[in-house]
Chains A and B, each alone.
Chain A
Amino acid sequence: MIRIQELKKHYLMGDSLVKALDGVSLHIPPESFVSIVGPSGSGKSTLMNLLGCLDTPSSGSYKLDGIEVSSLNDNQLAEIRNTKIGFIFQGFNLVSKLTALENVELPLIYSGCSAKERLSRAKEALAKVGLGNRLNHLPTELSGGQQQRVAIARALVSNPPLILADEPTGNLDSHSGQEIMQLFKDLHNLGNTIVLITHDNSVANQAQRVLRILDGQIVEDKEVS
């Protein structure tokens, strides 16, 4: 599914070069459940944004389903984000002026789904994350956990094979966090590939495989029994 080689992302901050990602090579086969752990500032989000085709690397290669991503143009990238990837942001990133239902409908609007199908699939996705009774709430009218679920429903709604989640439980209490983790396990059992970032070891160990990142490099890659 994912194959990256010597991927680098450097930022020039004034005179100093920040090596947010410093040569990462990685293979993630389909239907894996991988977690990425590491201290704050180690480059987890940077890696995830590159995997999600949201950002472009400074150098290196990224093949998604055999396609070299860096050779794609803006429109082709948008299409990949729309159909192949469900991205869950650390900060939710919901459109604040749209209701939960409208937020979840957005990816389907851009994929050209009919209004009727959109509505039923968005409702279904929200029901799946346990928000079937909060369809017309604005993000500000929802708790953090509920907003995170809306974001997850939005990531799920177009049935993408790859789901990427940047600290999905980071802002939640342990109970909501556990519920969200259960959701990911269910999705994994349905055949989705899941990559999630966390700095919580107990969360990380619920995955099949744990990658540890430090200073922009993978320092550990272990299978969980």
Chain B
Amino acid sequence: MGVWQAFRMAVKSIRSNKVRSFLTMLGVIIGVGAVITAVAFAQGSTKQITDRISALGTELVQVSITGRNTNRDITLKELEEFTLENEQKIAAMSPLISSQYTVKAGRNSVDTSVKGTTYDYSKISKQDIAAGRYISDIDNEYRQKVAVIGSRVKDELFGEEDPLGKTIKMESQIFVVVGVLDELNQGQQGTSDDQVIIPITAAQRLMKNTSIRNYSFLAASAEDVDSVMDVLTEYLTGVYGSSDMFRINNAAQTLDTLSSVTDTMMTVLGGIAAISLLVGGIGIMNIMLVSVTERTREIGIRKAIGAKRRNILAQFLIEALIVTGIGGMIGLLLGTSAIWLIGKIGIVPAVYSPLWMILAFGISLLVGVVFGMFPANKASRLNPITALRHE
């Protein structure tokens, strides 16, 4: 009896035991499908976080003034001078104050983030102008009420109309739109497409807040980051008399601390994945063992009419391979569809991990084959009469 014959026999057996075959497959489908979806989710979230952080730029150094009740506060003017003194290391510097406002234009309105800053913020945020112009240093000097708006704000307030030269209203103060920002995030809410940028001097007046607590520095290159952080620390400690009054951050450092968080996340999801595989595996075992009685009799009959042990084993091996193989394929298909869907809906980016797919598939296949073969192997050793008498 050849392999082809054993294959045909296995297919016949699978088709004549549809429920059992399906339930076995279900175990594999759950195992493979759940594992690769869980892993993709974990890797997708990790990727999303790291992407967002590295999008901020690794050359970026952020300073936030945390100390309060200080009789001496650093001023924008002082930091501008400091930047000029260190212009070999520092490519750009901008202050930032921001708040959430309802912005109106005519009958339309939108809740968005309003940021007061300077021209250099365009370099720091790496977001250029799609139309019009950016806020300029002269705007700041003369406290001009001008605004540059993100694509979502433009869509919400002006639709298809050209917003340049039109006015918007915040807290009954009127600003003239002079520019529209490049769209970087498909106009989604909460992203850099959902903001209004105004001169820092106008923002201080709008927000009734003169103290600037956040500054961004763009190092001339990634190699300069450490040195920029050092001179900043030295300078600010000199001003405040203590290093407790401010915090200096760099995206690359933040990434480092985050990678330990995402490692933990991968471990947890890996655990969930392993449990799914186990559950699927137990399902397979269960079905295989439940059908032992019936199958032992069948093996007895086959042996009685002349089947050799290897004929029986070949049939059961191929049967197990086909059932778990098809189940694995369906699991892969469902899993990848789920990943694609998650990516499509935009919960997290779709990340396909071939390693985990192979791993999940391989383990399910192994469980299916081991537990498909285990009873068959035992029964094939019995003499036919003992097998036929099996209860």
Q: Which residues of A contact B (CB under 8 A)?
A: 49, 52, 54-56, 74-75, 78-79, 81-83, 87, 89, 93-95, 97-98, 102, 106-107, 109-112, 154, 158
Contact = CB atoms under 8 A, between A and B. Distances in A.
Interface string B177-208: 00000000000000000000000000000000
Contact of B302 (A89, A97, A106): A106
B13 A97 contact: yes
Given A56-B383, A97-B13, A98-B12, A83 B306 contact: yes
B287 to A, nearest CB: 16
B303 interface: yes
A75 B1 contact: no
Contact of A93 (B304, B309, B383): B304
B17 A97 contact: yes
Given A56-B383, A74-B308, A109-B1, 9 more contacts: A55-B383, A55-B385, A78-B308, A81-B304, A82-B306, A87-B304, A89-B304, A93-B297, A110-B305
B53 to A, nearest CB: 60
Contacts of B1: 109-110, 112
Contacts of A82: 305-307
Interface centre among B297, B300, B304, B311 (most CB of A within 10 A): B304
A56 to B, nearest CB: 6
B306 A79 contact: yes
A114 to B, nearest CB: 10
A136 to B, nearest CB: 13
B182 to A, nearest CB: 67
Contacts of A97: 13, 16-17
Interface of B: 1-2, 5, 9, 12-13, 16-17, 297-298, 300-309, 311, 383-386, 388
A83 B302 CA distance: 14
Contact of B305 (A55, A102, A154): A154
20 contacts: A54-B304, A54-B384, A54-B385, A55-B385, A56-B383, A74-B308, A75-B308, A78-B308, A79-B308, A81-B384, A87-B304, A87-B305, A93-B301, A93-B388, A94-B301, A97-B13, A98-B12, A110-B305, A112-B2, A154-B305
A21 to B, nearest CB: 13
A107 B311 CA distance: 12
A127 to B, nearest CB: 20
Contact of A78 (B300, B303, B388): B303
A81 B306 contact: yes
Nearest to A94: B301
A52 B304 CA distance: 9
Contacts of A81: 303-306, 384
A79 B305 CA distance: 9
Nearest to A76: B308
A138 B358 CA distance: 40
Most buried by A among B17, B309, B383: B383
Contacts of A93: 297, 300-301, 304, 388
Given A95-B298, A97-B13, A112-B1, A107 B385 contact: no
A52 B16 CA distance: 29
